Chain A
């Protein structure tokens, strides 16, 4: 029975360690090492971050290592919370816009200084009680990339011409998409990262109908409202009747030249570097509710329970100051007024023409709305995904499915 006693005392010891809550918070004497979790594994991104970190260390001899720790995109929040739960709290972390309310409201983040240069619309998602809890380092408008070769071959006017003529609407975009797809083998319009699972990316479409998934205060579901029903009916028709959007389970990679248009973040322009087709970038088509634009965001926050919260705050301020922000702008559109002009952005995005930058990026960020978010987002996301699956069938009853979504998520929204 000796082992049993030993096991029990070990258990007790570990339980103590287990519920003590991680993060000792003691800033010891040694060099200050900082760690930032990120979801990009892109070598160019990492090289730039390392370069900025090296610049910082020159003036801050007390700082030892600054590591940027890439975590796979799909398991990012999961891994991050496991680390936090396990007591290994990173000093800084990238945060998805959809998890922003969870992180901001939990009190896990340290408030940071708000630069007056920041465009107000970009910080709204990251504030609570007038304090800013994360820096929105990437504010990337959504636009439509067009494979003009495919559109032309399908006998449709290029979207740029339609913009000039004032006829770039969702109905026209749907016609173009259907025409491209009808020629066989190619997809019409793809909504980036949607894949019939990430329904929240559809926000960039239904915002054109003035639809929202839930009310501004986040208390009531609005999937069953007429605007949403119209928008979803449009999408359902586009997929199953007009056949302008590759159906569920079908992949058509725009960047490989397999589809006519893709609605996605403009930063993906980088993937077109070696494209063998002619392409263009245009703003989102006009919806029944008029012109609109949507931006996708990501923030960087400092953890209160990290070992060196103060040092982390200082580093974040340096990492995102005007000078470095300009460098970061080549990958992540900046939230700063002073840098939101075609000239600055053009240097960083050589693939995009000034007109494209101005119409999509500058105006997009200034007017853009962001994707609605909510505390407990992951659970709501999953629940909506599960109920919406019934919509992606040819004979679906759109209104009934949407009403079903509401009955499922209303209890979650009320929490």
Chain B
């Protein structure tokens, strides 16, 4: 975890020099006391359950029969043989990639629009943010209606003279629908983060670029993007991690279909564990999911030095 390499940026000078060792000691104690609730919570609600999941993954666990038999690495061998896993991982990748690209570009686009000197941007900002506060389940149920073949979206397209597809029932559009429903639900959050970052870009830099004769696009590419790159990184990590955990939307909208086109990893492990009662195998799949999230996050964090601009 390279996250740790980043030391507290400007730790108080006094603790560094610490003329009295008692002060240092007191700090030590205070530090531990302050992180204690969080640490205890993480150990109790994340680390220990994760350990138990590892333990379960070494067993064949039939919940109904109450049997719990040690089978060693069999579940991991099953993972390698699982023909479903390929399509599932592909769907997961497609969903996450699609969502991250669309989410970040739309969020940035809206933020740039709202950052213009226009009256009424507050109203638009509110409107773009409003789905974020709607209960996820309610939002999904409503889109489930709208995306029916005879639903609101197609009626709307009908007015425009377009014959809309059967959104949730054909492979390509079902995946697109699930991505879009999730996109509009949460893009407002990233938009606000970008807006904040944009407002932090010093105006003088734009002026300088303008005097140098840079076009609007060049100014955006060379001035804006590098300056807000830390925010891009953060929103990217949060969106990717979030996209790998998407569940209620799939459960309500497509149940993984048509075929298995929208069966993403979380949904697949839910099916295996809770619907098919293969708890041991479900535990194995959860570890796989954990590993994927971990690797992606670490890779992004490592790569940040290549493209994230640091002020100092």
Name A's B-contacting residues (CB within 8 A): 3, 6-7, 10-11, 14-15, 18-19, 21-23, 77-78, 81-82, 84-85, 102-103, 106-108, 196-197, 247-251, 305, 376, 378-379, 382, 385-387, 389-390, 392-393
Contact (Cβ within 8 A) A386 B168: no
Q: Is the C-beta of B231 less than 8 angstroms from some C-beta in chain A?
A: no
Binary per-residue interface labels of chain B (252-279) against chain A in the complex, 1 for a CB within 8 Å, 0 otherwise: 0001111110000000000100111101
In the A-B complex, the 5 residue pairs with the closest CB atoms: A249-B149, A106-B64, A389-B258, A85-B63, A78-B274
B148: contacting residue among A103, A250, A382, A386, CB under 8 A: A250
B55: contacting residue among A19, A376, A378, A390, CB under 8 A: A19
Contact (Cβ within 8 A) B63 A81: yes
With contacts A10-B44, A249-B148, A249-B169 taken as known, whether A197 is within 8 angstroms of B257 at the C-beta atoms is yes
> What are 15 A-to-B residue pairs whose CB atoms are below 8 Å?
A10-B48, A11-B48, A11-B51, A15-B55, A19-B55, A19-B68, A81-B277, A108-B65, A247-B149, A247-B166, A249-B150, A249-B168, A379-B276, A389-B258, A389-B259
Contact (Cβ within 8 A) A248 B274: no
Contact (Cβ within 8 A) B55 A18: yes
Contact (Cβ within 8 A) B259 A386: yes
A28 to B65 alpha-carbon distance, docked (Å): 24
A77 to B64 alpha-carbon distance, docked (Å): 11
Contact (Cβ within 8 A) A77 B275: yes
Contact (Cβ within 8 A) B255 A21: no
A376 to B62 alpha-carbon distance, docked (Å): 11
Q: How far is the CB of B69 from chain A (nearest CB, A)?
A: 10
Binary per-residue interface labels of chain B (268-303) against chain A in the complex, 1 for a CB within 8 Å, 0 otherwise: 000100111101000000000000000000000000
Name B's A-contacting residues (CB within 8 A): 39, 43-44, 47-48, 51-52, 55-56, 59, 61-66, 68, 147-151, 166-170, 255-260, 271, 274-277, 279
Nearest neighbor of B271 in chain A, beta-carbon distance:
A382
With contacts A248-B169, A249-B166, A249-B169 taken as known, whether A386 is within 8 angstroms of B260 at the C-beta atoms is yes
A389: contacting residue among B47, B68, B257, CB under 8 A: B257
Chain B residues with Cβ below 8 Å from A247 are 149, 166
A305 to B47 alpha-carbon distance, docked (Å): 29
Q: How far is the CB of A307 from chain B (nearest CB, A)?
A: 14
Contact (Cβ within 8 A) B64 A84: yes
Chain A residues with Cβ below 8 Å from B256 are 382, 386
A81 to B274 alpha-carbon distance, docked (Å): 7
Q: How far is the CB of A221 from chain B (nearest CB, A)?
A: 17
Chain A residues with Cβ below 8 Å from B55 are 15, 18-19
B64: contacting residue among A11, A108, A390, CB under 8 A: A108
With contacts A250-B148, A392-B169 taken as known, whether A10 is within 8 angstroms of B43 at the C-beta atoms is yes
Contact (Cβ within 8 A) B48 A14: yes
A82 to B169 alpha-carbon distance, docked (Å): 30
Chain A residues with Cβ below 8 Å from B259 are 386-387, 389-390
A23 to B44 alpha-carbon distance, docked (Å): 23
Q: How far is the CB of B23 from chain A (nearest CB, A)?
A: 23
Chain B residues with Cβ below 8 Å from A197 are 255, 257
A77 to B258 alpha-carbon distance, docked (Å): 22
A250: contacting residue among B39, B61, B149, B275, CB under 8 A: B149
A390 to B261 alpha-carbon distance, docked (Å): 12
Q: Which of A81, A84, A247 has the most CB of B within 10 A?
A: A81
Contact (Cβ within 8 A) B169 A196: yes
A85 to B52 alpha-carbon distance, docked (Å): 13
Q: A3-B39, A106-B65, A249-B169 are in contact. List 6 more A-B contacts (CB 8 A).
A: A6-B43, A84-B63, A249-B149, A250-B150, A386-B257, A389-B169
A108 to B65 alpha-carbon distance, docked (Å): 5
Q: How far is the CB of A404 from chain B (nearest CB, A)?
A: 11
Chain A residues with Cβ below 8 Å from B167 are 249
Q: How far is the CB of B55 from chain A (nearest CB, A)?
A: 6
A248 to B167 alpha-carbon distance, docked (Å): 10
Contact (Cβ within 8 A) A14 B39: no
Chain A residues with Cβ below 8 Å from B44 are 10
Nearest neighbor of A74 in chain B, beta-carbon distance:
B251
Nearest neighbor of A13 in chain B, beta-carbon distance:
B48
